[in-house]
Structure 1
Amino acid sequence: MTAARDRPRYGGRAGRMAAGGWHMAGGERRRRRRRGRAGGEAAEGGPRPRVPSLTPHRGCRAPLTLRSPRRDDLLSSGFWAASAGATGRPPPGLTPLSVPAGAVRAPLGGGAEPPALCVCYGLGRFSGCPAARHQLAFLLLLLEELGVPPDRCSLFDPVFSAQEAAALGELGLRLLPDNEEGKHGIEGSATLFYMVHCGKALYNNLLWRNWSEGALAKMVIVGNSFKGMEERWVQAINFSPNALKVLKGTEEVALPAHPRYLDTFNDTSVHWFPLHKLKELAPEVWDFVEEPTYQDCDDLEIIRKDDRADSCSPVATEF
């Protein structure tokens, strides 16, 4: 994990959101520098999908183009090689972090099998933000590493422009049709969730929707450090997040710090839930948990289904 740990950002202020969903907000420095996110590169190996050129979205200052060098940057910098141990198998001759080989593969399919599905929330306006394109590039490399076909990966962010949606389609990725508010049930399928810098309510909703030993044991979450969020969450008034209840049943490994990506992947960890650890939790942990409503809660960094705003928000264009 990177040295500095800012507050998670995703969702935030309705005036900065697109129709029907949420978008990243949150941490002070991140709020200034990044409203769009992750990279935009084709997966490694084999012929690369054709990526269309994107025309500028009205009101957005940055040129809307996807550049394959973002993927190459991750590979040449050593960041991906050092991260591979946290996300799958370690590269030859390298023992990255403290993750045993295959530790994350196991919950995604029982041994060496890849996850069946991937869901990505909060990618943002990747067409105009270098940090965002790096995050998309990392996602594509991660799908390749775990053997997940692009068409088994679904994304949602209401700020996607029509051009960005088309570009994701060219990469073979799918778009979720509706704002789930993070309440995505895995329905028995091993699933990887990619949620870099999303807000706490989004994580809370995801855990609530899959609140059982069997479901959590089939999930891996790449996103804000649960350990890092613990201090912030316990200070929140009227908010008792599900992540705190299951923290003792969670394994977490931070992505490595790299000077080139301090703002792009800071506070990012890989989380999974070993079944034997979940079974050690007190039985009352699994008692009926009501659907979160967040009444009288501030700064939850989530936008509801009926929130409305311009798709190219002021924050999204401040690069």
Structure 2
Amino acid sequence: MTSGGARRDVRGAMAAAAAAAEPWQAAGPRRKRRPAARCRRAREPAAGSLEAEPETDSRVVLRRIREAEEDLLLSDFWSLALEHLEQLKTPRGTLSKALGNLHLDPSPEASDAAPGSLPGEPLVPGTCHLKCVCYGLGNFATCVIARNQLAFLLLFLEKCQIPRRHCCVYDPLFSQLEIAVLDGLGVTVLRENEEGRRSVGGEPTVFYMPHCGAALYNNLLWGNWSADALSKLLVVGNSFRGLEERLLARVLQKNYPYIAKVLQGLEERGLPQTPRYTDVFNDTSVHWFPARKLQQLPADTWAFREEPDYRDCEDLEIIRSRTRGPPAAGLPAP
């Protein structure tokens, strides 16, 4: 090899090392960021690792969740997010009457309760009739993004005075360790993959679905496809307007018809963006469906009730269930 070739090889190696050390940056600004990729399940641990000792590792995971709650509680993002939620209860009534049970005013007992404290009962017993369903958290034991999203859910339940036992949680990626941690936190862990097809059963319900695939939101809408049921939903998840912007109209209408049909009947407010939690809550909005807007949709909107079929859908971001049954309704029997 010539000396010139050797110098080029050295310069190339130095450039590669420098590139690896520097964080990647986009070439220019984007109009809207796509939601961050969900955390995937880590590889199976080797014998003798922390996960091989469930009791010890559960304590570690719980400690990290509490730390995430404490950090989030003190952040600008949390205070700004609460302002956004409180604005949903303006005198104009933009939040449907069915969701008027949201308790967002601070309670005298709130300052005395440690974040994430058990058993997660409402601060004022008997005042809350909301349910909550959470899909798509991912592996919070190993992923910081997922852990911060779980911390938000726990603080949200506490702020809205929703008992943790009234919150159903599911992700097909959950490990046995994570299921044990969630059981310990007092939430209800679903054991079957509903693919998002859960009916509210006439009860006001918050669906917390951070960074889920579009098919999951589409399935949720199909499972509640009536003006009465949709008016009882509040969905915290990927921006439906963002999906409309990113997808071709024909693709949205063919693959996700229920999202396409409901766009004229929803209200949407994006969660605030702060540097620290950009990758955790980017492209995340609060969606609700006022009865007055749903009633203004064409009558044939509700006649379309075909079950979603994703056989020809590319890049389907959903883990399918091995067994398919009717849409689930309400909470499972104790």
Interval containing the TM-score (normalised by the shorter chain): 0.7 to 0.9
| Partners of 1:276 and 1:145 in 2: CA distance | 28
The structure-2 alpha-carbon separation of the partners of 1:239 and 1:105, relative to structure 1 and needing over 3 Å to count, comes to closer
Counterpart-to-counterpart distance in 2, 1:132 and 1:247: 28
Alignment RMSD (CA, Å)? 2.8
Residue matched to 1:40: none
Q: Is 1:100 aligned with 2:90?
A: yes
2:161 counterpart of 1:160: no
Amino acid at match of 2:50: T
1:247 equivalenced with 2:267 (yes/no): no
Which residue number corresponds to residue 144 of structure 1? 158
User: 1:14 matched to which residue of 2?
Assistant: none
- Residue 67 of structure 2: aligned partner: 69
Residues 106-117 of structure 1 aligned to structure 2 (within 5 Å): 106-109=97-100, 114-117=128-131
Can you list the C-alpha shifts for 1:94-118, whole angstroms capped at 9, x where unaligned? xxxx873885584424676745211
Paired AA for residue 55 in structure 1: L
> Matched residues in 2 for 1:245 and 1:258: separation?
32
Larger radius of gyration: 2
Secondary structure of the corresponding residue to residue 244 of structure 2: helix
User: Is 1:35–1:125's contact at 8 Å kept on the other side of the alignment?
Assistant: yes
Letter in 2 for 1:85: E
Number of residue pairs matched by the alignment: 255
48, 56, 59: which one aligns with 2:51 = 56
CA offsets, 1:219-265, max 9 Å, x none? Answer: 00000001101123325274242112111110100000100011000
Tell me which protein shows more helix as a share of its residues. Answer: 2
The one-letter code sitting in structure 1 at the alignment partner of 2:321 is K
More RCO (CA 8 Å, sep 6+): 1
**Given the superposition, is the C-alpha separation of residues 222 and 303 from structure 1 closer, same or farther in structure 2, using an over 3 Å criterion?**
same
Distance (Å, rounded) in 2 between the aligned partners of 1:281 and 1:240: 18
List per-residue Cα deviations over 1:28-59 (Å, max 9, x = no partner). xx33x8337xxxxxxxxxxxxxxxxx93269x
Query: Aligned runs of 1:98-247 on 2, under 5 Å?
Result: 100=90, 104=95, 106-109=97-100, 114-233=128-247, 234=249, 236=251, 238-247=254-263
Residue 210 of structure 1, CA deviation: 0.2
* Equivalent in the alignment of 1:261: 277
**Contact 1:184–1:206 at 8 Å: present in 2 too?**
yes
**What amino acid is the match of 2:293?**
K
Identity percentage of aligned residues: 48
Please, which runs of 5 or more residues in structure 2 have no aligned partner?
A: 1-29, 42-48, 104-126, 324-334
AA at the equivalent of 1:100: T
- AA in 1 matched with 2:61: T
Contact 1:250 1:271 in 2 (8 A): yes
Matches for 1:9-20 after TM superposition, within 5 Å: none
Rounded to whole Å, the distance in 1 between the matches of 2:160 and 2:72 is 17
Range that drifts further, 238-247 or 273-282: 238-247
Post-superposition offset of 1:122: 0.4
Is contact 1:121–1:155 with CA below 8 Å preserved after alignment?
A: yes
Q: 1:262 to 1:216 in 2, by over 3 A?
A: same
Is the 8 Å Cα contact of residues 221 and 272 (structure 1) preserved in structure 2?
yes
Distance apart, 1:297 and its partner CA: 1.1
Question: Which residue pairs with 1:35 in the alignment?
Answer: 40
Any idea what SS the aligned residue of 1:264 has?
helix
State the TM-score, normalized to the length of structure 1: 0.73
Q: Which runs of 4+ in 1 moved over 6 A?
A: none
Instruction: Give the CA deviation at 1:288.
Output: 3.0
**What 5-or-longer segments of structure 1 have no aligned partner?**
9-29, 37-53, 91-97, 308-319
- Counterpart Cα distance in 1 of 2:144 and 2:136: 15
1:168-204 deviation digits (Å, cap 9, x = unpaired): 1111101112100110011111110000100011000
> What is the deviation of 1:6?
3.8
Using the alignment, how far apart are the partners of 2:102 and 2:181 within structure 1? 33
**Structure 1 residues 236 and 175, CA gap change in structure 2 (3 angstroms):** same
